Chains A and B, each alone.
Chain A
Amino acid sequence: MTLLALRAVEVAYGDLPALTAVDLVIEAGEILSVVGANGAGKTTMLRAISGLLRPRAGEILLDGVRLDRLPSHAVVERGVVQVPEGRKIFPSLTVLENLELGSYVRAARAHRRESLERVLALFPILAERRGQAAGNMSGGQQQMLAIGRALMARPRLLMLDEPSLGLAPKIVQEIFRIIGEINRAGTTVLLVEQNTRQALALAGRGYVLENGRVVLSGAGRDLLDNEHVQRAYLGM
């Protein structure tokens, strides 16, 4: 069943087109990876879904209902939540305060206690550090906090923008393992990554964006074997 669909979406920054005629479907329950070069439009796509950018044309549908005219807080209310690139946690607030802010929207507030339990079980390090200023944690811990904060909003669709950025190999494996776990517990995941190999290995399906257009899509495994993907994105 389709959870989210983009239909002929166009986004531009002034005269500069960033997304052109993008069609994309996210099935409920899957992990979908979007890969592509820097500047291909991946983050723009996430920002358009989140309501942080307005498409110039086309539509974005959640359960068949238009999402693209809603303000971003209303998008979060409907269960579509983005973890921004570079984490963007509140450094001077404690870990717990950061998590509580994630459950600010009305729909999530009522379930705050049980969401918190779930997040702390998923990321034991956040339980250990709950009273600490978030800015004093390592990069990997901050990424876990950013994901935990998003989970506090009880997303149906969790969108992750380069969660592996700047992290040590062991932490990247840990983050990818947890993304798989979140998905198996029932959350649909849209993953944007430069770490093409691991992203496509984790995902059921993937899309390749080039210059704001979808040029390829298919099973993650097939994309890993695709000659163009290997040459352009895997350095083979």
Chain B
Amino acid sequence: MSAPGLEIRGLIKRFGGLVAVSRFDLTVAPGEIVGLIGPNGAGKTTVFHVVAGFYPPTEGAIAFEGTSLVGLKPHAICRLGLARTFQLVQPFAGLTTLENVMVGAFNRAPDVGAARRRAAEIVEFVGLGPRRDVPARHLTLPDRKRLEVARGLATEPRLLLLDEVMSGLNPTEIEAIIGLIRRIHARGVSLLVIEHVMRAILALSHRLVVLHHGEKIAEGPPATVARDPLVIEAYLGESGEAAAR
């Protein structure tokens, strides 16, 4: 039996009277790419926040490789091998690309030299080699999205949570990010991906999970989920369903 990856059971997250996530179950097996989709405000990013330790769950169990994450701080969860990116990328504007990635590399690197070597490798891997010594504030949006992925990757995760790394990119820029995500997966990293770009999420995911008003309304193979009437009604719309085919 292979080691379990991420396991979420009966997750509830309330903010005051608002139930953001309700009795939510999700697993990501080692080697899997799972897509998490749903309307704006459905609770997708809240799931990321809770899994990564930014908020405690109101109820429920979350475990990674058999270790409970409930009550752990974000840095401790990152040390266990679970990293996330943010929807609004906020690199250290005055630091170079390489220096930004080094910040992530210190999660495991024992000293500055090791962090620099690790970061240099990642910067090349994500295709930012030519921009490595440029301050992050001078990077274009697609490059800042790559940097965000690189910072997560530098922590050497076995599971990476990606939060809308394609938003604001045009279809050709999106194709390039799809290629990057496939190469990350080929390195042995599992992925949980939030994305509104249907072509991309359908192409990448082994399995799709759909959230609506904090509840799971569908789960399964991408092609099946994209034809689910509930999902079309809540999320895709008629022409979105057509575009997804």
Binding site for B on A (CB under 8 A): 35-39, 138-140, 162, 165-174, 194-197, 231-236
Contact = CB atoms under 8 A, between A and B. Distances in A.
Contacts of A231: 172
B160 interface: no
Interface string B190-202: 0000001011000
Interface string B161-196: 000100111111111000000000000000000001
Contacts of B169: 38, 194
Interface string B83-103: 000010000000000000000
Contacts of A195: 170
Contacts of B167: 165-166
B20 to A, nearest CB: 12
Contact of B171 (A139, A162, A196): A196
Contact of B235 (A37, A38, A168): A168
B198 A194 contact: no
Contact of B40 (A37, A168, A196, A236): A168
B226 to A, nearest CB: 10
Interface stretch (B50-58, B119-127, B148-156, B236-244): B236-244
B198 A169 contact: yes
A139 B40 contact: yes
B135 interface: no
B168 A169 contact: no
Given A232-B172, A235-B171, A139 B240 contact: no
Contacts of B230: none
B141 A39 contact: yes
Contacts of B238: 173
A37 B236 contact: no
Contact of B236 (A170, A174, A194): A170
A167 B169 CA distance: 13
Contacts of B39: 138, 140, 168, 170-171
Nearest to A169: B240
A-B residue pairs, 4 tightest by C-beta: A169-B240, A170-B237, A235-B171, A138-B41
B171 A165 contact: no
